[in-house]
Amino acid sequence: HMDGLELMRRISSQWPDLPVIFLTGHDDVTSAVEAIQEGAENYLTKPFDIDRLRFVVNRALERRALQNDNARLRKLISSQRSALGKLIGVS
């Protein structure tokens, strides 16, 4: 028998970039804190409000898009610095 935290750990180890939203029937602050510390994007308890779930999913998707944009921009800046360094070195 695997609990939700162990499942989340396995998912995170297989797909580290995948946002995990922890959904449980137990309203337990300790497990909520542990799930967030282990990397859960958010923690919802059943029964959950569908509008709240939509909000949490959309926020996770927006955060992931921002992370992707940030990584892309860092790579672009790094390549431009490298190209600029070559130009300055040749002068």
Which domain range does residue 10 map to?
4-90
Q: What angle do CA 68, 71, 73 make, to 5 degrees?
A: 105
Please give the tally of structural domains in the chain: 1
Q: What are 70-89's pLDDT values in tens digits?
A: 999 999 999 888 777 776 65
Q: What is the pLDDT of residues 19-60, one digit of tens each?
A: 999 998 888 888 888 999 988 999 999 898 999 999 999 999
CA-to-CA dists, residue 21 to 27, 44, 65, angstroms: 15, 7, 16
Domain of 29, CATH number, reads 3.40.50.2300
The pTM is what?
Answer: 0.72
